[in-house]
Amino acid sequence: MAAAVSLSAALHGEERHPQAQAKVPVDGPDSLRAHAAAVGLQIGCAVVPQLLDLSANAGNASATPTPDQDPYTHTVIEQANILVAENAMKWSSLRPSPATFAFEQSDKLFQFASIHGQLVRGHNLCWHEQLPSWFSSYASKANAKALLTQHIQTVASRYAGRVHSWDVVNEAVHPPDGRPDGLRKSPWLDLIGPEYIELAFTTAAKADPQAKLTYNDYDIELDTAEQSSKRGAVLMLARRLHARGIPIQAIGVQSHLQATGPRPGAGLLSLIREAAKMGLEVYITEMDVNTRALPGGPEAQDAAVAEVYKTYLDLVLPEPNVKALLTWGITDAHTWLNQSKQPWALRPDFARQRPLPFDDQYEPVPAFFAMRSALDRGRQPLVPTDITTPPKDSKDPYAPFAVPGSPGVPPQTPPHQ
């Protein structure tokens, strides 16, 4: 009830009732951090370490910046109990040259997190994007295995014992590339072959036996043909690794969602539950809601974005193996959706996007209250638990996940229709 009042206040408050100047409390006991802790969930966001003030010391309240002094640092401290570097731990940031590592920003992130009692996700050890500029001319079939192994050993051992989970391999699946295993044709695949994935996981496990080793990917949330196919290939990959004793402990579902179009549903629940059967945790790793295609002003954006957070979190949070929820940023002032000029980010009216729980001015928006209310509903299933029961005539309970077009599988297998 209180949350509903707050939601309405945040939607309509200051503009319509200028006399109501009192701010809705969202810090401390009213924060996402506190509400998530109450239901045993890690909650947090991607951060830019350069923007964090390290002198804000949790042991000395007066040194913690007020929202007026440093709203970014303030909000990250108040709202998150887990952080991930938006870019600072990618190869392009860590590897100025083949022979060197630059750990300044990632070290700063770990230091900040430890001062403020926050966990850290590592993102990421192996990806086809954001490779350093020297990579394409330097890496070869002769040195690629050593290059990958040395990078993972060096980075993962530096932070060993301090990482909640590592995105060991990011976005390795791309069924449109036409391979039966659904793998993406990437530099790593070209240079090493499909076993680069196993190599990355086994190397990470040796370097940091405590971190939960994660496979992370996007566009695996919806029940569309494309996303069902990709989700199937991700599950097949996880099963392959698991069956061969390769250390994988979690699947990361990025959750870059759209305000328009279909909503996630049964297929994603199936993925989460199939992961649970293998003993894998699931993390919502990069949630935001893109309003590129949504007409209307800020209020329309806010309402649509909040509705997506609500329905998505009501779907996934009741699943007991969903252990962490991170948004890709905390404020609209720092989100890739307001930085990119690409068609997938740019609105036709050139208005700023509002994909995150805090707006450009660090005011909580309806998405914040939708998140907090979803946390408050706890982890009780709102969706019938038999939603993923396969059709009676299906011989293979995992049939919805077979990759359309691969041997023995019809070109399209829409899930649960």
The residues that are catalytic are 171, 286
Axis crossing angle, helix 144-158 with helix 196-207, rounded to the nearest 10: 30
DSSP 395: S
CA distance 216 to 249: 11
Q: Is 413 left (phi over 0), alpha (psi -120 to 50) or beta?
A: beta
The answer to whether the Cα torsion of 341, 345, 351, 354 is positive or negative is: negative
How far apart CA 252 and CA 84 sit, in angstroms, is 13
If the CB atoms of residues 211 and 375 are measured against ligand XIL, the closer one turns out to be: 211
Question: In this complex, which beta carbon is closest to ligand XIL, that of residue 35 or of residue 334?
Answer: 334
Q: Evaluate the CA torsion angle 71, 73, 77, 79 in order and state its sign.
A: positive
Q: Does 219 bind ligand XIL (CB under 6 A)?
A: no
CA distance 338 to 361: 14
Closer to ligand XIL by CB, 86 or 208: give it.
86
Binding residue for ligand XIL, selected from 45, 47, 73, 86, defined by CB under 6 A = 86
Give the β-pairing of 82-85 and 119-123: parallel
The residues pairing with 250 across neighbouring beta strands, listed in sequence order, are 214, 281
| Residues 6+ away with beta carbon under 8 Å from 251 | 214, 215, 216, 217, 234, 238, 271, 275, 280, 281, 282, 283
Nearer CB in complex with ligand XIL: 170/327? 170
Within 241-270, the residues that bind ligand XIL by CB under 6 A are: 254
Question: Taking the mean position of all CA atoms in its chain, how far away is CA 64?
Answer: 27
Question: End-to-end alpha-carbon separation of the chain, Å?
Answer: 36
Q: Shortest Cβ distance from residue 100 to ligand XIL (Å)?
A: 22
**170 belongs to the binding site for ligand XIL (CB under 6 A):** yes
- Are the C-beta atoms of residues 77 and 113 closer than 8 Å to each other? no
By three-state DSSP, how is residue 291 classified? Answer: coil
Q: How many residues sit in the footprint of ligand XIL (CB under 6 A)?
A: 7
Tell me, residue by residue from 319 to 358, as one string, x for binding to ligand XIL by CB under 6 A and - for no binding: -----------------x----------------------
Selected from 87, 153, 311, 321, the binder of ligand XIL by CB under 6 A is 87
Query: Concatenated DSSP letters for 150-169?
Result: HHHHHHHHHTTTS-SEEEEE
Residue among 336 and 368 whose Cβ is closer to ligand XIL: 336
Q: What is the DSSP letter of 52?
A: S
Of 123 and 372, CB closest to ligand XIL: 123
* Calpha distance 283→46 (Å, rounded): 13
Which residues on neighbouring strands pair with residue 215, listed in sequence order?
Answer: 169, 251
CA contacts within 13 A on the Cβ side of 26: 31
Measured from the Cβ of residue 378, the count of other Cβ atoms closer than 10 Å reads 12
Q: Which residues here bind ligand XIL, judged by CB under 6 A?
A: 86-87, 170, 218, 254, 286, 336
